[in-house]
Amino acid sequence: MNPRRALLYMPGDSRPKIEKAISLQVDSICMDMEDGTAHNRKQKAREVIAQALQELDFGRSEKLIRINGIGTGLERDDLDLTLPHHPDGVVVPKVESVNQLEWLNAQLEAAETAHGWERHSLRVLAIIESAKGIINLKEIATHPRLDALIFGAEDYAASIGATRTKNGMEVLFARSQVVLHAKANNLQAIDVVFVNFKDTVNLKIDALLGAQLGFTGKQIIHPNQISPVQAAFSPNDAEIDYAQRLLAAFKSAEAEGKGAIDFEGKMIDMPLVLSARQIIERAKAAGKLE
């Protein structure tokens, strides 16, 4: 599974923004037909996305489409026009029940069969952004087509009648639930959009909080957000060095039959070894280690 440290949205009707995104080396490019696209531009967005998928080389960036919510009546046209041009995956908003994923799965299976693509090669990333979505997470998160759960804070806050605050306490419970269910099912967890796209200082703080909570990446909306976010979700050199030293020390201790050791003044046992291994894996995925 590709690392998706930064998942950049742009309105699907904007060919210039799609082209710009491709030039920026972002992990995932998500061409939006949902809320980033005005109602009277939905059809235009489908056409622009179809053409972009046919004509443009996305390089190392993943190419995703975001459809309208399942049940809105727009989702079938979104899929019919864009799916034949083989995006890597579909981001589906406002997921509230596993039945919606079952419906999508059937459409994707049909496309895979019709085009002779590998089964399950079209991946799904589900956005959880309502009270119902959180309550039904346990069932939703087990769907085998899923690669990732995404948390949508703005829609979630609206769904529960919360007021957004700077520190985000009002969404913390749901934000953590998304991480919990993602990790229990071996899925990526992709964090909230930081909407003040000119405020890089607070973006970094928010991205770091997401990484500390266990998220593996973050949704973004502007080119300025790519590099701070990709950095926040990649281990830094000091962390990689520490993890390597810790693993080496643990390996020699293990050979001597010890399960817990004193490492640079700190007690190290299995949970910390597992965290260190995760840092090494993330460093490899980010291209910082062979």
Task: Provide the binding-site residues for Mg ion, judged by CB under 5 A.
Answer: 129, 152, 155
From ligand COA, Mg ion, none, interface partner of 36 (C-beta below 5 to 8 A by class) = ligand COA
Q: Where are the beta strands (DSSP E) in the chain?
A: 6-11, 28-32, 62-66, 89-92, 123-128, 146-151, 188-191, 217-220, 261-263, 266-268
> What is the nearest approach in angstroms of ligand COA to the Cβ of residue 41?
12
Smaller CB distance to ligand COA: residue 52 or 273? 52
Classify burial at 219, counting beta carbons within 10 Å of its beta carbon; exposed 0-12, middle 13-18, buried 19 or more. buried
Kindly give the residue spans of alpha helices, DSSP state H, lying in 185-236: 200-213, 226-232
> What is the nearest approach in angstroms of Mg ion to the Cβ of residue 30?
12
From ligand COA, Mg ion, none, interface partner of 17 (C-beta below 5 to 8 A by class) = ligand COA
From ligand COA, Mg ion, none, interface partner of 21 (C-beta below 5 to 8 A by class) = ligand COA
> What is the nearest approach in angstroms of Mg ion to the Cβ of residue 230?
22
Token pair 């998220």 in the structure block, residue = 215
Smaller CB distance to ligand COA: residue 32 or 96? 32
Would you tell me which residues interact with ligand COA (CB under 6 A)?
Answer: 8-11, 16-17, 20-21, 32, 35-36, 193, 197, 221-223
From ligand COA, Mg ion, none, interface partner of 152 (C-beta below 5 to 8 A by class) = Mg ion
Answer yes or no: 32 catalytic: no
Could you give the CA distance from residue 196 to residue 225 in angstroms, rounded to a whole number? Answer: 10
Which one is catalytic: 35, 77, 155, 269? 269
Could you give the CA distance from residue 133 to residue 1 in angstroms, rounded to a whole number? Answer: 24
Smaller CB distance to ligand COA: residue 21 or 104? 21
* Cβ-closest position to ligand COA: 36
From Mg ion, ligand COA, none, interface partner of 223 (C-beta below 5 to 8 A by class) = ligand COA
Q: Are 158 and 129 in contact (CB under 8 A)?
A: no
Could you give the CA distance from residue 140 to residue 181 in angstroms, rounded to a whole number? Answer: 9
> What is the nearest approach in angstroms of ligand COA to the Cβ of residue 24?
7
From Mg ion, ligand COA, none, interface partner of 16 (C-beta below 5 to 8 A by class) = ligand COA
> What is the nearest approach in angstroms of Mg ion to the Cβ of residue 272?
37
Residues ≥6 apart with Cβ < 8 Å to 19: 52, 56
Smaller CB distance to ligand COA: residue 20 or 76? 20
Q: Are 8 and 26 in contact (CB under 8 A)?
A: yes
Smaller CB distance to ligand COA: residue 36 or 89? 36
Could you give the CA distance from residue 221 to residue 17 in angstroms, rounded to a whole number? Answer: 11
Dig out the tokens for 146 from the structure.
């899923």
Smaller CB distance to Mg ion: residue 152 or 210? 152
Q: Are 214 and 179 in contact (CB under 8 A)?
A: yes
| Residues classed as catalytic | 269
